[in-house]
């Protein structure tokens, strides 16, 4: 409230009272907007000047600053897979002392999020103060926790290039009352998107150079294949990448340790339709096993260890005669394997 006193006569004074709540809120929102824009500018400057190999750490640090500005408990980036069917958690910041239930590489099904992508087309972000404000299908996914007091999702990528989601969650702290300033997180999302793309391109170029250098030095074929496997692992999120060569009558896993038990396991797989690897060799077509434990085609003979729940097998064929020369296998720890994702691998890998 604002009070102003005006003399009315020699014996009277008028007190004029005015409600300035709306003006105060507008001034406060403007101040927050200016402060947040300065923060995003600082984050963008650091990301632009950062070396490609240090971008992941810089992105996580930037997420922490965004979360701190809004008193959020976690900040994350979920990157969209190449087929547009899944999200994988690629970057995560968690408030010290806060126990989160998510991990890098975690897969999130997009089946229940048609409402989210549709909303992105209109506003670019979605803010909800707790699961009670979300459709039931959204709360059934790992993107929303039952204890979350508030969740913000911001589109990663502009126009038709939907690359993922930048998000904030509030669990132990109250979220903002409105999304008036939260909508500005889209500017930070643009900075993160550019950094992720630059990192991916730089790592891809670096990996390609390593492979071609090995070939130029006339090193053994296995060495070059190991380099190719390492290159794939950097750009495959949530999966373990294997390179397998196809011999006359057996499969040979490319591994640094020839005594690796997986080498024997693959060598014992026949080149026929009874297993996904033999099927890929025989047909020359990719084979996807969404659930290795229940797929009736292979009777549980799809993965070298029961800890893996899915596998995608991609044949590498000769351009001359079409013969399958090698296989690329992507083993997933969760059902519904994805064949490719744009970020570096974070689960156990032989590389």
pLDDT of 198 reads: 78
Task: Domains for the chain: give ranges and CATH numbers.
Answer: 51-198 (3.30.450.40), 220-332 (3.30.450.40)
C-alpha 178/C-alpha 323 separation (Å) is 60
pLDDT of 347 reads: 33
Q: Kindly give the parts of the chain with pLDDT less than 50.
A: 337-351
C-alpha 96/C-alpha 330 separation (Å) is 34
pLDDT of 137 reads: 57
> Is 11 strand, coil or helix?
coil
pLDDT of 351 reads: 41
pLDDT of 89 reads: 85
Q: Taking a C-beta distance cutoff of 8 angstroms, is the pair 50, 151 a contact?
A: no
What b/e readout covers 219-242, taking b as 16+ CB neighbours within 10 angstroms?
A: eeebbbbbbbbbbbbbbbbbbbbb
Residues 6+ apart with CB under 8 A from 222: 254
pLDDT of 343 reads: 35
The residue written with tokens 């000769």 in the block is: 318
DSSP secondary structure, 20-49, as one string: -HHHHHHHHHHHHHHHHHHHHHHHHHHHHH
pTM for this model (two decimals): 0.58
């Amino acid at each position: 409230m604002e009070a102003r006193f005006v003399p009315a006569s020699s014996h009277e004074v008028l007190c004029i009272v005015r409600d300035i709540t709306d003006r105060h809120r507008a001034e406060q929102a403007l101040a927050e907007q200016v402060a947040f824009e300065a923060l995003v500018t600082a984050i963008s400057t650091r990301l632009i000047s950062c070396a490609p190999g240090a971008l992941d750490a810089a992105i996580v640090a930037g997420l922490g600053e965004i979360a701190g500005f809004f008193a959020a408990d976690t900040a994350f980036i979920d990157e969209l897979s190449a087929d547009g069917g899944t999200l994988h958690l690629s970057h995560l910041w968690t408030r010290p002392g806060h126990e989160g239930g998510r991990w890098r590489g975690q897969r999130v099904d997009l089946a229940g999020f048609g409402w989210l992508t549709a909303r992105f087309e209109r506003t670019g972000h979605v803010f909800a103060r707790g699961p009670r404000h979300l459709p039931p299908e959204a709360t059934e996914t790992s993107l929303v926790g039952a204890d979350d007091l508030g969740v913000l999702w911001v589109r990663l990528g502009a126009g038709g290039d939907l690359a993922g989601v930048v998000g904030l969650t509030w669990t132990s702290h109250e979220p903002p009352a409105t999304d008036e300033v939260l909508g500005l997180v889209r500017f930070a999302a643009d900075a993160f998107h550019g950094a992720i793309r630059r990192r991916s391109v730089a790592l891809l170029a670096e990996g390609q150079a390593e492979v071609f250098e090995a070939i130029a030095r006339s090193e053994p074929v296995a060495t070059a294949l190991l380099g190719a496997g390492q290159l794939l692992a950097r750009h495959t999120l949530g999966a373990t990448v294997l390179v397998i060569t196809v011999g006359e009558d057996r499969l040979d896993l490319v591994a640094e340790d020839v005594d690796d038990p997986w080498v024997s396991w693959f060598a014992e797989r026949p080149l026929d339709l009874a297993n996904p690897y033999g099927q890929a060799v025989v047909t020359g077509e990719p084979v996807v096993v969404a659930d290795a434990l229940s797929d009736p085609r292979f009777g549980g003979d799809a993965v070298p260890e029961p800890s893996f729940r899915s596998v995608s097998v991609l044949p590498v064929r000769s351009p001359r005669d079409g013969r399958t020369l090698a296989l690329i296998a992507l083993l997933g720890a969760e059902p519904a394997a994805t064949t490719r994702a744009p970020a570096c691998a974070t689960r156990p890998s032989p590389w």
